[in-house]
């Protein structure tokens, strides 16, 4: 094993993160090679810097003017657009994202957690976590209503196993008891749990009371000796439309909850900052007993995975995002405007669904947040999906042939009622 990997293993020895590492996670490290040496030279090589494989002139990257001229050249230097980004992302963006995390999650105030590392989107972050902390035979616990990419990443790529539990209890709330039972079913008492709120596909976020129950139940399991890694997929964070909804990430409560709980937050600028195509995500770590040395070791492991896969992430996207967050004249107004529009669509959708109460062909799952809502279908969801597409030119998503998901985020307010009516009409026709 490489000496740098051994050094990181020693730094994490005895921690909950150490217990969760995969074989790859134990072997990976961030090399003191070209990237590290170039970063060191960037601050000290004042005379000549002959480290980075990037053609420069006058201290700026050479570039195509046809591209550069598409940007505001009074705001962005060529280096902001064309240069390599640091392995973990622009340091200023990482710091700003951490500040915003605390603003959005006041519970994080004065708590110790890592400086977020930039990834190439949230999916990339989940994949990095998979490489570091999953291998064949490990078990991931997820609700039965979950994003299908989890299976692709953790089962088909990493050969882990998934144990699912019913998302809803018999009262239509988040099924804390079933979650606990699923974790208890793992013989090794070492479990990995992935929760996504607001949930995709259902658009449900647990209430504040349910969030407290989730945290309390996980702490109770940790007290019993269970070793738990809890991954918060916060892709749709902030889109909370009801007052009783829990408005902070689970990470905020779990990052210092117990020595046996390893909290990981995967989030992204994708929806939070309305930059879907930029592919900018973040990974953040926390646990009760983590020191700065532990967090640094985890970040170096993460940098090693990034270095050995994509090398570094998108530079112009990071520069554009940072500029908007720091100096954007319309930044707050635009974000609030989008939230207000999503809330309006949410309210119209709820009213449209009320017209169809009692129709047993399609029963809406409880929802209160996010971009989506989903129906429990009496007949084949795939049959209905195809019928809607061919007969009414309406696109929606089938999940496991028992759930139909609607993304009302992409439907104008004046079309939502028509969409709902068509879906119910098509169900009566397709399953007759």
**pLDDT reported for residue 348:** 98
* Three-class DSSP category at 144: coil
Task: Place 56 in a pLDDT band, splitting at 50, 70 and 90.
Answer: confident
**Distance between CA 277 and CA 286 in Å, rounded?**
28
Nearest-angstrom CA–CA distance, 300 and 163: 30
The pLDDT, as a whole number, for residue 40 is 60
Indicate if the pLDDT at residue 45 is higher than 80. Answer: no
3-class SS string, 303-350? HHHHHHHCCCCCHHHHHHHHHHHHHCCCHHHHHHHHHHHHHHHHHHHH
The answer for residues whose C-beta is within 8 angstroms of residue 4's C-beta and 6 or more apart is: 29, 30, 31, 32
Provide the b/e sequence for 315-329 (b: ≥16 CB within 10 Å): bbbbbbbbbbbeeee
- Please check whether residue 8 is in contact with residue 32, taking contact to mean a CB–CB distance below 8 angstroms: no
pLDDT at 389: 97
Domains identified in the chain and CATH numbers? 3-30+85-327 (3.40.640.10), 332-430 (3.90.1150.10)
DSSP assignment, residue 361?
S
The yes-or-no verdict on residue 75 having pLDDT over 60 is yes
- Residue 33: the pLDDT is 59
**Three-class DSSP category at 133:** helix
Q: Which pLDDT tens digit goes with each residue over 215-269?
A: 999 999 999 999 999 999 999 999 999 999 999 999 999 999 999 999 999 999 9
pTM, whole model, 2 decimals?
0.95
- How many other C-beta atoms are found inside a 10 Å radius of the C-beta of residue 389? 13
Between helix 208-223 and helix 176-184 the angle, nearest 10°, is 20
Nearest-angstrom CA–CA distance, 24 and 135: 8
Six-digit token pair at 199? Answer: 């949930």
For the segment 12-37, the average pLDDT, to the nearest whole number, is 89
pLDDT tens for 143-190 read 999 999 999 999 999 999 999 999 999 999 999 999 999 999 999 999
Across the range 371-396, mean pLDDT stands at: 98
**C-alpha to C-alpha distance for 229 and 365, rounded to whole angstroms:** 28
Between vectors from CA 29 to CA 287 and to CA 115, what angle results, nearest 5°? 40
SS3 87: coil
Whole-number pLDDT of residue 34: 56
Q: Scanning the structure block, which residue is given the tokens 């570039």?
A: 63
């Amino acid at each position: 094993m490489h000496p740098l990997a051994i050094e990181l293993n020693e730094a994490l020895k005895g921690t909950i993160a150490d217990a969760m590492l995969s074989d790859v996670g134990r072997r990976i490290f961030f090399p003191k090679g070209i990237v590290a040496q170039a970063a060191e030279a960037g601050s000290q090589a004042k005379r000549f810097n002959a480290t980075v494989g990037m053609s420069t002139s006058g201290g700026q990257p050479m570039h195509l003017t046809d591209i550069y001229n598409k940007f505001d050249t009074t705001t962005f230097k060529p280096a902001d657009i064309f240069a390599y980004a640091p392995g973990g992302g622009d340091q200023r963006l990482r710091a700003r994202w951490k500040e915003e995390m605390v603003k959005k999650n006041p519970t994080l105030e004065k708590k110790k957690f890592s400086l977020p590392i930039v990834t190439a989107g949230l999916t990339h972050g989940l994949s990095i976590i998979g490489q570091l902390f999953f291998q064949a035979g490990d078990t991931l616990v997820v609700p039965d209503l979950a994003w299908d990419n989890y299976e692709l990443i953790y089962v088909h790529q990493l050969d882990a196993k998934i144990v699912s539990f019913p998302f809803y209890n018999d009262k239509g709330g988040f099924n804390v008891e079933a979650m606990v039972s699923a974790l208890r079913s793992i013989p090794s008492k070492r479990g990995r749990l992935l929760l996504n709120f607001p949930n995709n596909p259902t658009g449900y976020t647990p209430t504040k009371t349910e969030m407290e129950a989730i945290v309390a139940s996980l702490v109770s399991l940790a007290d019993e000796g269970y070793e738990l890694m809890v991954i918060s997929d916060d892709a749709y964070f902030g889109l909370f439309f009801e007052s009783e909804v829990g408005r902070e990430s689970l990470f905020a409560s779990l990052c210092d909850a117990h020595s046996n709980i390893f909290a990981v937050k995967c989030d992204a600028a994708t929806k939070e900052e309305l930059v879907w195509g930029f592919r900018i995500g973040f990974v953040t770590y926390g646990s009760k007993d983590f020191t700065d040395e532990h967090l640094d070791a985890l970040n170096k492991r993460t940098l090693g995975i990034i270095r050995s896969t994509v090398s570094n992430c998108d530079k112009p996207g990071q520069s554009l995002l940072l500029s908007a967050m720091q100096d954007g004249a319309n930044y707050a107004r635009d974000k609030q405007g989008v939230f207000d529009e999503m809330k309006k669509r949410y309210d119209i959708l709820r009213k449209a669904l009320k017209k169809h109460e009692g129709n047993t062909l399609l029963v809406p799952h409880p929802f209160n947040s996010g971009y989506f809502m989903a129906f429990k279908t009496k007949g084949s969801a795939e049959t209905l999906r195809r019928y809607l597409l061919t007969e009414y030119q309406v696109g929606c998503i089938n999940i496991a042939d028992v759930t139909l998901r609607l993304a009302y985020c992409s439907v104008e307010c004046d079309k939502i009622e028509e969409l709902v009516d068509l879906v119910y009409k098509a169900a009566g026709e397709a399953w007759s």
